[in-house]
């Protein structure tokens, strides 16, 4: 009997530890993962017409400054993703959308509020420059 009780106690402790670890992992996942939406011609209008302000990174795979800005954009998405939508649009794959917003240099970051373009930054503006732009519009 003592062995059975001991086994049950060990199993209870292990189950409790496993639940704690799973809760911890879930909390880490939600706060650490960048909240980026990949845009295309089909979903673009739906995303920019949402209730939160949206910042869109217009980029291309071959663009060095775009690659430089990606980890910065990811960091800021983790930091402000609960107050602003962070999205990316590949201009090579969606050139009609890029042309609609006069995006001729990349990276270009455009802020939308209630579906309307309200601000933009062009080039590798760095973390401080991009964060300054974001802070003007976060709710």
The catalytic residues are 63, 66
| DSSP state at residue 120 | E
| First vs last C-alpha separation in the chain | 61
User: What span, in angstroms and rounded, lies between the C-alpha atoms of 120 and 125?
Assistant: 11
- The helix (run of H) or strand (run of E) holding residue 130 is helix 126-135
Q: What are phi and psi of 13, to 5 degrees?
A: -65, -45
């Amino acid at each position: 009997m003592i062995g059975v009780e001991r086994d049950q106690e060990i199993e209870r402790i292990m189950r409790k530890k496993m639940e704690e670890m799973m809760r911890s992992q879930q909390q880490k996942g939600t706060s650490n993962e960048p909240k980026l939406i990949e845009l295309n011609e089909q979903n673009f209008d739906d995303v920019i017409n949402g209730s939160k302000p949206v910042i869109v990174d217009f980029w291309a795979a071959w663009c060095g400054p775009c690659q430089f800005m990606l980890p910065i954009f990811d960091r800021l998405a983790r930091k402000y993703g609960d107050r602003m939508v962070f999205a990316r649009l590949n201009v090579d794959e969606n050139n009609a959308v890029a042309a609609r917003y006069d995006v001729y240099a990349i990276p270009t970051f455009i802020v939308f509020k209630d579906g309307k373009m309200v601000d933009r930054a062009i080039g590798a503006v760095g973390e401080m420059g991009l964060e300054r732009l974001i802070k003007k519009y976060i709710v």
